[in-house]
Amino acid sequence: MSKPLIIWTYDWVPGGEGSPRGYVCDIRLRWACEEAGLEYEVRSVPFDKRGPEHFARQPFGQVPFLEDDGIAIFESGAALLHLAGKSEILMPRDRQGAAETLQWVIAALNSMEMVTVPWWFIGLSTEKDNPLEAWMASRLEHLEKVLATREWLAAGRFTAADLLMADVLRVPKVRRFGTFPALRSYVDRICARPAFKKAKDDQIAYFAAADARS
């Protein structure tokens, strides 16, 4: 019998206004496992004291990372693609569908998130005149054009690429940026999936249980 996958996250993250609960990137892997029906457990590393053991598994001291029967893998995108290799639900097996999924997974990380995260981060200190405003607008405008003409990013159906793109775009401040009806309906549609709801509820409950323990 194969061993369950292990998704590693923090043991706790702050709650309250603007809390990251429900947004910590382990959700990408929980969500993928839920979509694909892959058995998994969640384990944690300390949020406050990130020791050498954590850095040995994630060189930047971040989460998530994944363990799969002796294979250890960090970076949410890499771990997601690893999971996609285990289930056709996440990535079609035909060459064209697989290539499209792969390109949009990388686009979510390297064309969208590489803009949304720095834009969001700079916005913490400069609410007005964010120097990345135009860059952000341009990326969203281009994606809006793509999603105005189709329901999914790749292969004509839900894939890991939609999971990742929606996770990048659902961040509340990103959602409030500009007026992009196709993006709005895309994110609503993808986040209405039961697997997302389960992953999100479970993550929130996981961190709430840590509050109860302390």
Ligand X SMILES: N[C@@H](CCC(=O)N[C@@H](CS)C(=O)NCC(=O)O)C(=O)O
Contacting residues toward ligand X, per CB under 6 A: 24-25, 61-63, 75-77
By C-beta, is 117 or 182 nearer to ligand X?
A: 117
By C-beta, is 25 or 89 nearer to ligand X?
A: 25
Q: How many CB atoms lie within 10 A of CB 210?
A: 15
By C-beta, is 46 or 178 nearer to ligand X?
A: 46
Q: Beta strand pairing status for 71-74 and 65-68?
A: antiparallel
By C-beta, is 35 or 75 nearer to ligand X?
A: 75
In 114-180, which ranges are E strands? none
Closest approach of ligand X to the CB of residue 168, in Å: 10
Q: For residue 41, what are the contacts with CB-CB under 8 A and spacing of at least 6?
A: 4, 5, 6, 7
Determine the residue with CB nearest ligand X.
Answer: 62
Angstrom distance (rounded) from CA 158 to CA 137: 25
Tokens (6 digits) for 95: 């060459």
Closest approach of ligand X to the CB of residue 107, in Å: 14
Identify whether the C-beta of residue 59 lies closer than 8 Å to the C-beta of residue 74: yes
By C-beta, is 23 or 135 nearer to ligand X?
A: 23
Closest approach of ligand X to the CB of residue 20, in Å: 7
Angstrom distance (rounded) from CA 149 to CA 209: 43
Strand order in the sheet with 65-68: 40-45, 5-10, 65-68, 71-74
Closest approach of ligand X to the CB of residue 24, in Å: 5
Q: For residue 111, what are the contacts with CB-CB under 8 A and spacing of at least 6?
A: 139
By C-beta, is 4 or 22 nearer to ligand X?
A: 22
